[in-house]
Amino acid sequence: MNLLKTFYVYFVLIFTCFFLLGCNTLEATGTDQGNKEGHSYHGETISFIVPFQAGGGTDVFARFMTPYFSKHIEGEPRVQVENIPGGASITGTNEYANSRPSNGLNILTSSASSHVPFMLEQSSVDYNLDNFTPLIGVPSGGVVYTKAELAAEGMENFLSLENELFYAGISPTGLDLVTLLSFEVLEMDVKAVLGYEGRGPSRVAFEQGESNIDFQTTSAYKSSVEDLVEEGRAVPLYSLGQIDENGDLIRDPQFPDLPTIEEIYMDIYGEEPSGAAWDAYKQTVAASYTLNKVIWVHDDAPENSKELLRNGMEKLIKDSNFSADSEEILEGYDTYIGDELNKYIEQSFSISPETKKWIIDYLQHHFDIDIKKL
């Protein structure tokens, strides 16, 4: 009898330990969240992974979005930004893909520096954007400008300049790639000096005469370069443009008076641009500017959680306060959600093998960069 009692006690203890262990595991990973019908995010905390340091443009964007996420996602969850910098966004994106539970309680923002390495299959990329579900996408834009005296005799003369144009950039695999490809399409002779710490320092280099052709994103151009234009110290050449739903390059809606490089090419050379450099340019504009930032959730997150998140995005873009408050942070561009977003995702990241190879060879030849070793 004593033996039976002892066995019974041990059995109860063991069963209780396993039960408590299971409960703790569920609490830590949240793997049961979102599987229940009628589940909301009430009382939950969503971790918002930002693969950059605090204070940068993507971090500011994410922190701007968080209160609207909390407001419009059913259950009004707490949304907490978590910065995981490194590798120009690749470190944090890798961690999100491989280490964060796909329980609907983890979301990620990507940017151009996440998109282009993914397209080119950079060796350090250990994530697949096809395994994420997009929730909302945001465009951006850019303007290329030069010294007023260099453009005084018109665009045709400017494009014919040899050994006179100097560009200060950061890295040929980041946003600079689009601008560098624009020079390639227009057959410009530009010496690129790379390694600057950011667009701010590159603009200062322009102001100090270290460079004489530069680009800035929409917000930086409006806040810092338009004054130079008014003072006669700079003149805009073209906007980098946007890619529309048909895959065509169109004028940037924030700079409707500035031509695209397609318009300039046709005016100077008398025909439409074509060829590998043109295809590469349009592809990188789509992945870098038309979809400058995208917020994602794991594709295998609970369906109900994904639905709640998507519904939250629909409510968010209808919020008049969001529309007014986002004017500065989102640079006046419209956001994409739903079917429109999915179409742009497919268009922006579906690169042909020929275009991919051409870009990889371009980076190797001009900048001694081997994508397979980054």
Report pLDDT for 26. Answer: 35
Cα separation, 162 vs 183, whole angstroms: 13
pLDDT averaged over the chain?
Answer: 90
CA 82 to chain centre: 17
Question: 67 with 144: CB under 8 angstroms?
Answer: no
Which pLDDT score is estimated for 145? Answer: 98
pLDDT of 29 higher than 80 = no
Q: What digits encode the pLDDT tens for the residues 196-223?
A: 988 999 999 999 999 999 999 999 999 9
**Given this model, what pLDDT does residue 38 score?**
54
Residue 372 has what pLDDT?
A: 87
Q: What is the pLDDT of residue 328?
A: 87
Is 370 within 8 Å of 120 (Cβ atoms)?
no
What pLDDT, on a 0 to 100 scale, did the predictor assign at position 25?
A: 35
Counting other chains too, the contacts that 69-74 makes at CB distance below 8 Å and 24 or more residues apart are: 69/312, 69/316, 71/316, 71/319, 72/312, 72/313, 72/315, 72/316, 72/319, 73/41, 73/46, 73/308, 73/309, 73/311, 73/312, 74/40, 74/41, 74/42, 74/308, 74/311, 74/312
Residue 4 — very low, low, confident or very high, per pLDDT cuts 50/70/90? very low
Whether residue 2 is predicted with pLDDT greater than 50 in this model: the reply is: no
Percent of the chain with pLDDT over 90: 85
- Which helix (H) or strand (E) element contains residue 54? none
Task: Tell me: pLDDT of 28 over 50.
Answer: no
Asked if 211 and 202 touch (Cβ cutoff 8 Å), the reply is yes
Q: How confident is the model at residue 33 (pLDDT cuts 50, 70, 90)?
A: very low
Token readout for 11 is 């059995």
Q: What is the pLDDT of residue 318?
A: 96
The domain ranges of the chain are: 45-139+291-351, 142-288
Per-residue pLDDT at 150 exceeds 50: yes
Model pLDDT for residues 36-85, shown as the tens digit of each residue? 445 799 999 999 999 999 988 899 999 999 999 999 999 999 999 999 99
State the average pLDDT over residues 250-269. Answer: 98
Contact 46, 77 (CB under 8 A): yes
Residue 181 has pLDDT above 70, yes or no: yes
Mean pLDDT to the nearest integer, 297-325: 97
Q: Does the predicted model carry a pTM greater than 0.85? A: yes
Find the range with the poorest average confidence among 171-175, 246-250, 270-274: 171-175
Residue 23 reports pLDDT greater than 50? no
For residue 325, pLDDT over 90 is answered with: yes
**45-139+291-351: which CATH number, 3.30.499.10, 3.30.2350.10, 3.40.190.150, 1.10.3720.10?**
3.40.190.150
Average pLDDT over residues 183-195: 96
Residue 56, pLDDT score:
87
pLDDT at residue 13 tops 50: no
pLDDT at residue 191 in the model: 97
Average pLDDT over residues 5-14: 40
Range 318-341 burial, b when 16+ CB lie within 10 A, else e: eeeebeeebeeebbebebbbeeeb
- pLDDT of res. 39: 76
- The CATH architecture that domain 142-288 belongs to is 3-Layer(aba) Sandwich (3.40)
pLDDT for 333 beyond 90:
yes
pLDDT in tens, 112-136: 999 999 999 999 999 999 999 999 9
Residue 168, pLDDT score: 97
